[in-house]
A = this chain, B = another copy of it.
Amino acid sequence: MSVKQRLLAAGVTLLHEQGLAALTQPRIAKAAGVSQSHLTYYFPTRNELLLAIAEQSVNDALTRQLGSPEADPAQALAAAMRFLPRVRMLLGLVAAADQEPSLREAVSRLVDHVRQSIAQLLSHLGYAPEAPQVLVFHAAIVGLAVMNLGRQSPQSEAELAVGLRQLLALLPHPTAPGSPAP
């Protein structure tokens, strides 16, 4: 494993576990087992580092998400919302992109990919939603996950399940697999 990969892996882990504020050069370098000054050899500025970590994190999440054919897609969605490290990572990404316009393209790609996999998941469930429905489905999942991260209470946990159930109820017939859309 190259030093560069070790650095990126350490950065992703840090971003997952402690959020954007903990993503500093000394901590990443220490976690990767190299000197801090050596990190700047690979990533001269903090923005380059952040961009590389963001893309790595995005790729990780997508391959993990797309690479696993879930037994129950609805369960997979629920688990994804409950998985705080990823929500934390995404929140950090959004906050960083808000302040650093060069990151927004990466965020856009991530949003598109996630939405595509949500559409795929829904079609596996027997739904055939149109684009606007996938949009609100995606948005609602993001919103539920964010509101859970900020509260981390029994109530917010419960809302994840209730919200998901309600979302599925809003879509066209669940019991008719392969049902065509108008």
Contact = CB atoms under 8 A, between A and B. Distances in A.
Interface of A: 18-21, 84, 88, 91-95, 97-99, 101, 104, 107-108, 111, 132-133, 135-136, 138-144, 146-147, 149-153, 155-156, 159, 162-163, 165-167, 170
Contact of A150 (B88, B104, B147, B167): B104
Given A144-B139, A163-B135, A153 B91 contact: no
Instruction: Give the dominant DSSP class at A's interface.
Output: helix
Contact of A94 (B108, B135, B144, B146): B146
What number of copies of this chain does the assembly contain? 2
A70 B154 CA distance: 34
Given A21-B21, A94-B146, 6 more contacts: A91-B91, A94-B149, A97-B150, A108-B155, A111-B151, A136-B167
Contacts of A94: 91, 146-147, 149-150
A19 B140 contact: no
A161 to B, nearest CB: 11
15 contacts: A21-B95, A91-B95, A97-B149, A97-B150, A97-B151, A98-B150, A104-B151, A136-B167, A139-B143, A140-B140, A142-B146, A142-B147, A143-B143, A143-B144, A170-B170
B143 A108 contact: no
A146 B146 contact: yes
A170 B99 contact: no
Contacts of A132: 162-163, 165-166
Contacts of A21: 21, 95, 99
Contacts of A111: 147, 150-151, 156
